[in-house]
Structure 1
C-alpha cells in the first residue's frame, strides 16, 4: 500500500471529490497488487475499492472479525491540521473487495497515524489494535491508542511456533489450515509468520480467524530452514491456544488468563 504525498496534504478534500466524480486524483494513488500465482501481479486497487486519497504512512493487517480474510488498518494524515485526514480501517469482504469501516468501528482519529500492531492483548481470541500517533516532525506528538476488539462468534486458533533448525521465532514459516465449514465444505486458510507491515510490529504468534466451522481438519507448517521440514497435525481444537515445537511431534494446549 502506497500513497503518501506531502505536497497534496492540504488538498485532500479536492482529491476525494475527484474520485467521487470519477476523475483522476492528483495525489499518489494507493496500490494493491494481487498475486497471480505465476510470478506476476495485477494492480487491483480500483476493483477492490481502495482507490482513494489515503496518504498512508503506516499499515498493518489482521483479521478483526475472525472470518479468515485479512483486514487492514492505515495510519494516515499529516501534522498540519489544515488537512483533516482520518486514519482508516478496511474490512475484507470474502477476499473480493474491501469495505471502509473507519467510522462504524470508531477508528477515524485525525491525528497522524504512524506505527500499527495487531495482537490479542487480552487473550480472548480476537485481535486488538495498538497505534502510535505522531512522527518525526517537531511537536507532532499525541497519545497512542489501544483499540479493544469487542469480539464475534467466529472460530479461531492461536499458534505459537518454536523453531529448532529454523529460527526460534519461526519467522517466515508458512501455515495452511484446512477446516470443515458449517455447510460441510472444506476451506483452506493461509498465513505466514511475520510482524506485518511498515512502522509497526504485530504479534509473532499467529492469531488466525477460521470463520463459521465444524472442525479443524488439518494444520500444516512449512518451517523456514534448509531441511524443508514440514509438520502436519490433524483435528486440532479450535478456539484454543497451541504451542508447536519444530523438534517435537506433538502439540501443547495452553490455558491463558484474560
Structure 2
C-alpha cells in the first residue's frame, strides 16, 4: 500500500488546549433495523449514516450545513443480515461504497451500481458465523478484499479481482478448528509498509482464546508472531484498540478484557522492534473495573492524543504519557464520525446523534483516494509531525461488531 495523500477525518492538534469533553443529543428517524455505520457513501467528503433492513438500505446523507437528507434504497432480500457486523468500502472502484453484512450464518455483499442509485445483493453458500468484518487489501495487489472473523471455524476472506468479483477463501489467517475469532484489527505494527492483523480472541480452551498477531509476509501469506511480540495472552479479549498513544511513531495497543476470569485490560507499548511492553500499571486501566466487548481509538478532544472508547459509557482521555483519565459520556457502543463537519468526532447510536460540543483546538481534514491502490485508500497511513511528536492516523474499514 502506498502512503497517499470513504471520506475519512484525521484530526490533529495545532494549538493544544487541555479540555474535558461533552456531547449534546439530537434524535433522527432511521428506517433500518440492523447495524449502523458512519461513512461517506456518495463521495462528497461528508460522513453519512447507514442503517439496513432485509429489503432496503437507508442512508442519511449529510449536507454541508450539518443537516441530513434521508433516502431509502430498495434491495433484493438479503440472505444474511448484519446481525453481528457491517463494513463499508468501494470494491469496484466506481466511487460508491459497497457494504458487507456479517450474519450468524453467512455473509452478504451489497454492491453499488455505477451511479450509486441501486445495490446488487450477492451472497455465497458458505456457512460463516460472523464476528467483526473488514475491508482491506489482503494480498497487496491494490484491490480491496474482505475479511470476516469466524466464531466457530477458521477465518474466511474474499479476494477481489479488481472488478468486484470475489473469491471465497478459508484458512491461512487464523486456522484454529473451532474458531474463537472476534476482533480483527488491520494495522502495520512494525512499520514495514505492509498491513498486519491483530486477532482478539474469545473464550474456551487455551488455544482457542490465545490472542494472535499475524505479520504480513508481503507475498499474500501471514505468520503468527504474537508469542515473540508479547501479545499471546490468554485473556478473553474480544477486541482491541490499536493506535500510537504516545506519538512516538509506533502503534501501541489496548488489549481489552470482556471477562476478568483470565485477566484484565492490558495497555501495551510498542517498543519499535517488533515487541510490546506491558505498561498497564498506573495507566488508569489497571483500576478500571468495567468489561467491554468492543474498543476503538479516536482523538475526541483534538488535543493530539488518541483517546479510547468501548461499549461502556466510559471514555478514556489520553494524557499523552500512557495514562488515561476516565469520563462518563451519554452513550455506549456507537458509530463514530464527524456528523456536522465541525472537525470534532460525534457518536451515533439507535436514532440519536451525540454531537461533540468541541473546544478551541484546531484540526485538519485529509481525504484519501488511491491511485495504484484501492480507491478508498484503506490501509494508507497519514503522519503529521509537530511539537507533540508524530501523529499517526490509519485508514481502516470495519471497527466493530454487534
With normalisation by structure 2, the TM-score equals 0.34
Q: 1:74 to 1:189 in 2, by over 3 A?
A: same
Using the TM superposition, give the Cα deviation of residue 110 of structure 1 relative to its aligned residue in structure 2, in angstroms.
3.5
Using the TM superposition, give the Cα deviation of residue 93 of structure 1 relative to its aligned residue in structure 2, in angstroms.
0.9
- Report matched runs for 1:206-217 at 5 Å: none
Using the TM superposition, give the Cα deviation of residue 118 of structure 1 relative to its aligned residue in structure 2, in angstroms.
1.0
Using the TM superposition, give the Cα deviation of residue 148 of structure 1 relative to its aligned residue in structure 2, in angstroms.
1.5
Counterpart of 1:149? 318
Counterpart of 2:304? 125
The SS at the match of 1:113 is coil
Asked whether 1:193 is paired with 2:395, we answer yes
With normalisation by structure 1, the TM-score equals 0.50
Using the TM superposition, give the Cα deviation of residue 84 of structure 1 relative to its aligned residue in structure 2, in angstroms.
6.4
The SS at the match of 1:51 is coil
Partners in 2 of 1:199 and 1:110 — Cα distance?
22
- Report matched runs for 1:172-191 at 5 Å: 172=378, 174-175=380-381
Selected match of 1:75 from 251, 256, 263: 256
The SS at the match of 1:67 is coil
Selected match of 1:65 from 223, 238, 246: 246
Q: 1:197 to 1:74 in 2, by over 3 A?
A: farther
The SS at the match of 2:318 is coil
**Is the Cα contact below 8 Å between 2:200 and 2:212 reproduced in 1?**
yes
Highest relative contact order (Cα 8 Å, sep 6+), 1 or 2?
A: 2
**Is the Cα contact below 8 Å between 2:200 and 2:240 reproduced in 1?**
no
Gaps of 5+ in 1: 9-24, 134-143, 180-187, 201-258
Once the two structures are superposed, residues 66-98 of structure 1 have per-residue CA deviations (whole angstroms, 9 ceiling, x without a partner) of 0111111122133xx7x2631222111114201
Counterpart of 1:93? 271
Counterpart of 2:25? none
Selected match of 1:50 from 213, 231, 243: 231
Q: Superposition RMSD on alpha carbons, in Å?
A: 3.6
Using the TM superposition, give the Cα deviation of residue 31 of structure 1 relative to its aligned residue in structure 2, in angstroms.
0.9
**Is the Cα contact below 8 Å between 1:84 and 1:110 reproduced in 2?**
no
The SS at the match of 1:33 is strand
Gaps of 5+ in 2: 1-198, 322-361
Using the TM superposition, give the Cα deviation of residue 160 of structure 1 relative to its aligned residue in structure 2, in angstroms.
2.4
The SS at the match of 1:89 is strand
Using the TM superposition, give the Cα deviation of residue 39 of structure 1 relative to its aligned residue in structure 2, in angstroms.
1.6
Counterpart of 1:102? 280
The SS at the match of 1:172 is coil
The SS at the match of 1:146 is strand
The SS at the match of 2:228 is coil
The SS at the match of 1:47 is helix
Partners in 1 of 2:363 and 2:276 — Cα distance?
25
**Is the Cα contact below 8 Å between 2:230 and 2:275 reproduced in 1?**
yes
Partners in 2 of 1:84 and 1:103 — Cα distance?
17
Partners in 1 of 2:400 and 2:269 — Cα distance?
19
Counterpart of 2:200? 2
**Is the Cα contact below 8 Å between 1:128 and 1:149 reproduced in 2?**
yes
